[in-house]
């Protein structure tokens, strides 16, 4: 765990952070799997605390049986890691 030494986040910054993480996870999955093969995709991002802020990212993914070679758990985990990476980049750019 790394502390970025950020100021306390505003409600708007926290909302943007959560949306940024959610969009990053969705983009990652849809880049790896055709949208036609995605039966269910729920991404939940929760920010807890203001300083430090803790992000909880949950990716609930269900693929069509036609996606035989896809490892759903691995893909969901990779999407969550990508969301965390993009979130950290967002936080580093804050003034």
Mean pLDDT of successive 10-residue stretches along the chain, which has 95 residues? 58 92 97 95 88 87 91 96 94 85
pTM for this entry: 0.87
54 falls within a domain: yes
Domain count, the chain: 1
pLDDT at 51: 67
> What distance in Å separates the CA atoms of residue 64 and residue 21, rounded to the nearest whole number?
24
Whether residue 64 contacts residue 38, with contact meaning beta carbons closer than 8 Å, is answered with yes
Please report the pLDDT score of residue 8 as a whole number. 77
Residue 6's pLDDT is: 55
Asked, for residue 4, whether it belongs to a domain, the answer is no
91 is written with which tokens?
């936080």
**CATH classification at residue 43:** 3.30.300.100
> What is the pLDDT at residue 49?
73
**Domain annotation covers residue 82:** yes
* Domain interval for residue 57: 11-93
Would 78 be classed as within a structural domain? yes
Establish if 2 belongs to a structural domain. Answer: no
């Amino acid at each position: 765990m790394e502390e970025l030494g950020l100021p306390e986040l505003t409600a708007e910054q926290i909302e943007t952070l959560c949306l940024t993480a959610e969009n990053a996870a969705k983009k990652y999955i849809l880049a790896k799997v055709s949208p036609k093969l995605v039966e269910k995709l729920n991404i939940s991002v929760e920010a807890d605390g203001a300083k430090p802020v803790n992000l909880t990212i949950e990716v609930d993914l269900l693929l069509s049986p036609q996606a035989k070679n896809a490892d759903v758990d691995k893909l969901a985990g990779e999407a969550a890691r990508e969301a965390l990476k993009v979130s950290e980049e967002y936080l580093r750019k804050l003034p």
